[in-house]
Amino acid sequence: AQRVTQPEKLLSVFKGAPVELKCNYSYSGSPELFWYVQYSRQRLQLLLRHISRESIKGFTADLNKGETSFHLKKPFAQEEDSAMYYCALTLGGTSYGKLTFGQGTILTVHP
Distance CA 21, CA 9 (A): 10
Dihedral sign from CA coordinates of 25, 67, 73, 14: positive
**Contact status: 96 vs another protein (CB under 8 A):** yes
Under rule CB under 8 A, residue 29 binds another protein: no
- Phi, psi (deg, nearest 5) at residue 60: -135, 160
Bridge partner residues of 10 (DSSP) = 106
15 vs 65 by CB, closer to another protein: 65
First and final C-alpha spacing in the chain: 41
Write each residue from 38 to 77 as x if it is in contact with another protein (CB under 8 A), else as -, in one continuous string.
-----xxxx--xxxx-------------------------
**Three-class SS state of 79:** helix
Nearer to another protein, 62 or 79 (CB): 62
CB of 19 to another protein, least distance (A): 20
100 part of the interface to another protein, by CB under 8 A: yes
List residues near another protein by CB under 8 A: 4, 6, 9, 32, 43-46, 49-52, 86, 90-93, 95-104
